[in-house]
Structure formats: C-alpha cells, structure tokens
Amino acid sequence: MIHLENVHKTYPGLVPLHVLKGIDLHINKGEFVSIMGASGSGKSTLLNILGILDTYDEGKYFLNDVLIKNLSEKRAAEFRNKMIGFIFQSFNLITFKNAVENVALPLFYQGISRKKRNALALEYLDRLGLKGWAHHMPNEMSGGQKQRVAIARALITQPQILLADEPTGALDSKTSIEVMEILKELHEQGQTIVVVTHESGVAHQTEKIIHIQDGLIKNIEENTLQSNSPFSMDGYIK
C-alpha cells in the first residue's frame, strides 16, 4: 500500500536541514505500525509526506502503486481526501464548530448533502462513544473526547490509511490507553494505521515499530498485540 524508496527531504534555509536521508519503507494494507524516534528525528516530516501534506526532494513514494511526486495542489488534495485520514496531537478541531459539524466537514468537500453528512457524522460520534455530545463545542470537551471527535472526522471518509501524529501526546496516561485501544480496534477491523510517537509505551501498542534515527530507519521491531477494546467499530472500515 505504502512504498518508499530512498526518500530524502531537506528544509531549505540559510543552513539547509537534511531531515530525511534515504528512507526505504514498506507498509502493507491492514498493518498497524508506529514510527518511533527522538524529538527532531524527522517523524512528522515523514508522516506528512505519507499523508501528501508535504513534498520530498529525492526518491520515490508509491501509494497503491501510484507515484506520488510533483502533484498539483488540486491532485494532492484529491488524493488526501480519498485516501488519507489524519489525526494530530493537538486534535486540530475547528473551535467555532460543534462536534457533529467537525466530523461532517470532510464530507462537505466531497459534495455530500448536509442531511447525509450530519446523519453519518452522528453515527460515527455514536460509535466513538460520544452520543449526546454532538452539539457540544470542542472547548466543552475533555482531551480524550476531542481526540475521539478527531478520529471520527478522520474515519468518516473511510480512508485507506489512518495517519496519527503523536495522537496521545496531549493526553493523560489513562486517556492515552483509551485512544490506543480505539486504534487497535480499528486495526482489528482491517484499517491500515501509522502512528508517530516518541513514547515507547505507545509504540508497543502497535504490531510493528519502525525506529528512525538521524533521518534513517535504524531497525524494525515486530511486536505481538493483545486487545480488549470497549468500542465497536464493526462495519465501519472499508
């Protein structure tokens, strides 16, 4: 599904910063992997390239056998909307929209009617344990609830890949476990997931840990999973 060959990325500037120095990476459909490394090691840069939020300078990135390179902004946005769901440490909810409006937003860009958008958004909120919270604003919700809204919003387009950049970074440990359990449940339903983290405890909730150091993949660690998720995502994953 994801295939990278010798991908390099340099941030230009007075002192150009060579962040990715030849990344080779292969992620299959249905895998649940984490990219782990110290702060500043290039994890977010790599995830943003995978999510077509950023470009790279050298090498090749194939997404479902399509070469993702030199795309127009319009093509890139089309791919993102069709293929990718993204969640972030800071949730990135729209503060002046309520939960259901936030979740429904990606469907607006797909030209789906307001009625259908809202009905589907309510279903996703319900699945993520947020029944009754649809009309609350983000600032009325806890961190864990906000991240669940963000996950619902990422899933509503049925993305082929869910990318998560430090999804538990702003959460306490109990809520972090809850969010990782949701991701695990999604993985069991067949969702392909890539999580970026600097926390070993989070990485060990995934089935494969890709260690990144100084812009290169240092090693790949296989990990066995156990699950006991309280959420039911049956039928929600393509």
- Of Mg ion, ligand ADP, none, which one sits near residue 132, judging by CB under 5 to 8 A according to partner kind? none
CB of 43 to Mg ion, least distance (A): 5
The residue range among 24-32, 40-48, 110-118, 178-186 that interacts with ligand ADP, by the rule CB under 6 A, is 40-48
The answer to whether 190 contacts ligand ADP (rule: CB under 6 A) is no
Helix H or strand E segment including 10: strand 2-11
Nearer to ligand ADP, 45 or 102 (CB): 45
Cα of first residue to Cα of last residue in the chain, in angstroms, is 14
Among 2, 25, 45, 102, binds ligand ADP (CB under 6 A): 45
Among 6, 24, 29, 40, binds ligand ADP (CB under 6 A): 40
CB of 59 to Mg ion, least distance (A): 20
Nearer to ligand ADP, 42 or 106 (CB): 42
DSSP state of 201: H
Q: Are the C-beta atoms of 32 and 225 separated by less than 8 Å?
A: yes
Site for Mg ion in 43-62 (CB under 5 A): 44
The answer to whether 106 contacts ligand ADP (rule: CB under 6 A) is no
* Contacting residues for 215 by C-beta, under 8 A, at least 6 apart: 18, 19, 20, 21, 22, 23, 41, 42
Distance CA 69, CA 133 (A): 40
Nearer to ligand ADP, 24 or 234 (CB): 24
The answer to whether 9 contacts ligand ADP (rule: CB under 6 A) is no
Tokens of 169: 């970074």
Residue ranges in contact with Mg ion by CB under 5 A:
44
